[in-house]
Structure 1
Amino acid sequence: MKKLLLILFAGLLLLAACGGEDDAAETAETNEEENNESNAENETDTPEQEEKKEVYTIGDTAVITSDLYEFDYEVTVNDFYFAEEVNGKPMEDIMSTSDDDYKLAVADVTFKNISDEAYVPHQMYSANLSAIDEDGGEISYNEFFPEADEELAPGEEVQGPLVYVERVDYADTFLLKFEFMSDEETHFELPNPEQ
């Protein structure tokens, strides 16, 4: 009987030992899977790790793909300045304010149609102006740039002002954003000419 108990006890020990090895193997596999998942999460791009897009400035030309219409166009920002009026139109035509700190912020741009089809620029692009560290931004007043309401044939270009109303001291640097909130978002960094 003692032999039988000893054999049974040894068998239980053997089973426990084998079970322990399985548990250890499972624990090792679980730890390895967790490490792999952790490494995969660490390899996922965070905003700081994402490849930074090129930022353009005055005088640069950017080739941009319209996110909505899927055609290419070129934009060159020729100048950026503040003014009381543009193309004979004063700020009071679009906004009445008694605050002298507000002026028309003007980005003089050239659009070139490098696609295969004609289009009307004002109907095909978006351009927002904000402080450099802000999302969103103001949209331009199209009435200052009537040439962009006319059809632009492939290979042709048009130059004119993108006009916004801003406080002169609003920012040291402004950001002109084309195709805002799309994969094709393109930025022009514009130093405040009054600073």
Structure 2
Amino acid sequence: MKKFIFLALICLVLTACSNGEKNTETQKTDNTDTTEKTDTAALEAEEEKPTYQIGKTATITSDLYGFDYEVTVNDFQLTREVDETPIEDYLIGAREEDRFAVVDVTIKNISEEAYVPNQMFSANFSAIDENGGDISNDEFFAAGDEELAPGEELTGHLVYLTDINYADTFVLKYEFMSDQETHFELPNPEQ
């Protein structure tokens, strides 16, 4: 009789353990499905970022400060000199392929408050298929250090360092990593 009770207890314990493993497997499967759905949604959101071409104006909302501003990319070029500064003076050991990436932009303050653009937002520059990117060298965008009153606009150039063979198409990203992220597609003029 004692053996029968002992065997019955062992069977109950094994059955309980077995059900626990099935529940864990079900939870893992449910979590995997949820993760895959989240990843798919993130990729779809990534693809839905507003993208503009040279000459087009984007109205952008600052994710951090909540004001609106307009950006127009007027021109894009790769050059070895900007503002009378040769790349060799700026980049020690510059190679033949190294270039300044110069993006001429117009920024218009369409909010009700004055602000200094270089203090409130920046634009990342990368190859079109990359996340992240480089920020501009503000020393070449001195106009962005001045207060911009409501209704006023400024024009200047954002300057980055790149290689002429780095990408067929570059992208300029405002409000990077926010719901307001906005892209400007910049074809490589050297290719």
TM-score for the superposition, normalised by structure 2? 0.76
Say yes or no: does 1:112 pair with 2:105: no
Q: CA deviation at 1:43?
A: 8.1
Q: 1:151 to 1:167 in 2, by over 3 A?
A: same
Q: CA deviation at 1:83?
A: 1.3
| Residue type of the alignment partner of 1:46 | A
Which residue of 2 is the match for residue 98 of structure 1? 94
Which residue of 2 is the match for residue 34 of structure 1? none
SS of 1:68's partner is coil
Q: CA deviation at 1:190?
A: 0.5
SS of 1:122's partner is helix
1:68 corresponds, among 33, 57, 64, to 64
Q: 1:49 to 1:163 in 2, by over 3 A?
A: closer
SS of 1:164's partner is strand
User: Unaligned regions of 5+ residues in structure 1, if any?
Assistant: 1-36
Q: CA deviation at 1:84?
A: 1.6
1:122 corresponds, among 102, 118, 124, to 118
Which residue of 1 is the match for residue 22 of structure 2? none
CA contact (8 A) 1:89 1:144 kept: no
In 2, Cα distance between equivalents of 1:98 and 1:91? 7
1:87 corresponds, among 83, 95, 109, to 83
Which residue of 2 is the match for residue 78 of structure 1? 74
Q: CA deviation at 1:124?
A: 0.9
1:142 corresponds, among 122, 138, 144, to 138
Task: State how many pairs are aligned.
Answer: 159
Shift >3 Å, 4+ stretches: 40-45, 47-51
Q: 1:48 to 1:138 in 2, by over 3 A?
A: closer
RMSD: 2.2
In 2, Cα distance between equivalents of 1:91 and 1:69? 35
Q: CA deviation at 1:162?
A: 0.4
CA contact (8 A) 1:79 1:109 kept: yes
Q: 1:47 to 1:104 in 2, by over 3 A?
A: same
Larger-gyration structure (1/2): 1
Identity %: 61
Say yes or no: does 1:46 pair with 2:41: yes
TM-score for the superposition, normalised by structure 1? 0.74
Which residue of 2 is the match for residue 27 of structure 1? none
